[in-house]
A and B are shown apart, each in its own frame.
Chain A
């Protein structure tokens, strides 16, 4: 496996869609290739940091406002289709 191959398998690697053989090949490659090791680690961190931090928090106030507006629109539609 070379660096280009690794890159093409990267997403499947994180999504656990790879065969054991391919995973082992990736492991072997990153053991000897510092650049790919960094790319793999920091891409994993990229995914984790976005998963772990809610960027657009929906406050209770906003949620209630949205909810009321949605239901009002739907009920109006029901009354006057």
Chain B
């Protein structure tokens, strides 16, 4: 290996080498991948399942599954996207098992247009950060995202919380790019509508 990398090799994602080493049986390389992504995988699972114990189990299961199926990873996508996809599937499976009332899939419960048409037209003033302290704000944000159907919540989480690209989100969720775009718009609008209850500018003499 030359000491100075050429521009072409610089474009290769550093995970590629780690994955190759892990495939060859290098546990330390796999452990490095685990370190890199364990927090993200936990957050994704927690966002989708809304349950901390489930998220812990899913994180462990997702990495174990990735470890077992490493030789099936073709490198067509980023390793992290592949991993997120495993975690999303585990999360949805967990939701189905928990089966609070209805079945859960990426396609169900997203048919409704409810909440996607803006109704609240008040500015948010002052900024949410100025209206609430950090703990209160986090509580509001958690409660609000919990109310979204899982099919919307997953798209919003990957795209806007975890900063995956639209294409990566589509791949991780097994959806088409147009489906991701449409769900993302509706998720954003529904969250906006719900958050407006907390953040909208209070009118004079009106209780908060």
Contact = CB atoms under 8 A, between A and B. Distances in A.
Interface in A56-74: 56, 58, 62-63, 65-67, 69-71, 73-74
A42 B124 contact: yes
Given A66-B42, A69-B60, A34 B142 contact: no
B188 A73 contact: no
Interface residues of A, number: 39
A14 B166 CA distance: 12
A62 to B, nearest CB: 8
A5 B138 CA distance: 33
Interface string A41-81: 11101110111111110100011011101110111011000
Contact of B141 (A11, A15, A49, A65): A49
B160 A45 contact: no
B190 to A, nearest CB: 9
Interface stretch (B11-19, B62-70, B89-97, B98-106): B62-70
B27 A67 contact: no
B20 interface: no
A43 B181 contact: no
B128 interface: yes
Interface string B28-65: 00110011001100110011000010011001100110
B134 interface: yes
A15 B160 CA distance: 10
Contact of B138 (A15, A47, A55): A55
- Say whether chain A's binding surface is mostly helix, strand, loop, or mixed: helix
B46 A56 contact: yes
Contacts of A39: 118, 121, 189, 192
A45 B67 CA distance: 39
A70 B60 contact: yes
B21 to A, nearest CB: 14
Interface of A: 7-8, 10-12, 14-15, 34-35, 38-39, 41-43, 45-47, 49-56, 58, 62-63, 65-67, 69-71, 73-75, 77-78
17 contacts: A11-B185, A38-B121, A42-B192, A43-B188, A45-B199, A50-B141, A50-B156, A52-B129, A55-B47, A55-B141, A55-B161, A56-B55, A62-B56, A67-B34, A67-B35, A70-B38, A77-B68
Interface of B: 27, 30-31, 34-35, 38-39, 42-43, 46-47, 52, 55-56, 59-60, 63-64, 67-68, 118, 120-124, 127-129, 134, 137-138, 141-142, 145, 156, 160-161, 163, 166, 181, 184-185, 188-189, 191-192, 195-196, 199
